[in-house]
Amino acid sequence: MVPMKDLKERRPAKRLSISRQAFLRASLALASSPLLRYLPAQAANGAEVIEVAPGVFVHQGLYELQSPQNRGDMANASFVVGGEAVAVIDTLGSAVAGRELRDAIRAVTNKPIRYVINTHMHPDHVFGNAAFKQDNPAFVGHYKLGRGLGSRAERYLMINKKMLGEEAFEGIEIILPTIGVEDSLSLDLGGRNLVLEAQRTAHTDNDLTVTDTATDTLFLGDLLFSVHVPTLDGSIKGWLALLDELSRKEAARVVPGHGPHTMDYPDALTPEQTYLAAIAADVRKLINDGKTLEDAMESAGFSQREAWKLFDHYHVRNVTAAFAELEWE
């Protein structure tokens, strides 16, 4: 671990802080008016980002489904600036949004973008990858990411073309990882390391976590949802078991895949654990009582309805996935 003092000293502080202040002022001015957020003028300023720890920047996505208005900007995306290079963690849901993220990086630093890390295969985390092709980075993901994204590519492209519309869909490409992480991998950004860990099947079968050891910041991707209802595309049993394991770890802060820029750890995990546990308990009881999937779709986990945004859009799908898995216990 690099002491924080060293990191600060290695940053060309003066130039950086001037450009960042100007950038943040512009971002804050835009952020204060929700109507202004999507004007093309913002592209020049880049995506709105907050520095949550020294050299760690996070953009917060909207709690929405993809649309022409939000251009797939619905997940969190981050970047970490080391002494020599930059790593991007997720790239938003379109090439347009990815370019704005890249502009935000360029407003902070001119260091090469050496790594683009995708925390998992979902379009709102990977469809901005094309915006970074010009940097010729290594694209890094869980070793199962390529297979998962590759097999769903056609369907993901079709759905997103429809939901984003022609303009926001422009430039989207499926870019598969050039480096697959099977267990763990350390990336050196110069004076600070990112530790990547491939996780068991949970939110998906290709969830990758990232730890910035210099600031003890943990990036959980969609293993952690806050405010936005969790979406289950892997294994409810695996996810609950992994959350139990993760909750015994320590970190100075966590960046969720959907939710605030940064949260306290491990407290941030609790609402999601409660949500998934409620579904699992209700579905198991219904199965034991000889009830059907249709019964479950009408009742399982509905005690959680008021706690989450987008509940009505995703919850029944979560119950369906949980039922299919728990039926065979």
Which chain residues interact with Zn ion by CB under 5 A? 122, 222
Question: Residue 271 in contact with residue 278, Cβ under 8 Å?
Answer: no
CB of 222 to Zn ion, least distance (A): 3
State the angle between helix axes of 95-108 and 145-169 in degrees (0 to 180), rounded to the nearest 10: 90
Cα dist. 137→11, 94, 101, 146 in Å? 22, 18, 15, 16
Q: How far is CA 271 from CA 193, 238, 247, in A?
A: 30, 17, 12
Which residue number, 24 or 254, has a Cβ lying nearer to Zn ion? 254
Cβ closest to Zn ion, residue 48 vs residue 222: 222
Instruction: Report in angstroms how near the CB of residue 149 gets to Zn ion at its nearest.
Output: 12
Q: Closest approach of Cβ 252 to Zn ion, in Å?
A: 24
**Among candidate residues 72, 86, 162, 164, the one with its CA nearest the CA of residue 126:** 72
| Smaller CB separation from Zn ion, 273 or 299 | 273
Q: Which is nearer to Zn ion, 54 or 260 (CB)?
A: 260
Tokens of 194: 């990112």
* Least Å from the CB of residue 289 to Zn ion: 32
Burial status of residue 171 (CB atoms within 10 A of its CB: 0-12, 13-18, 19 or more) = middle
CB of 204 to Zn ion, least distance (A): 6
Return the number of the residue (222 or 272) whose C-beta is nearest Zn ion.
222
Residue carrying the six token digits 């959350």: 243
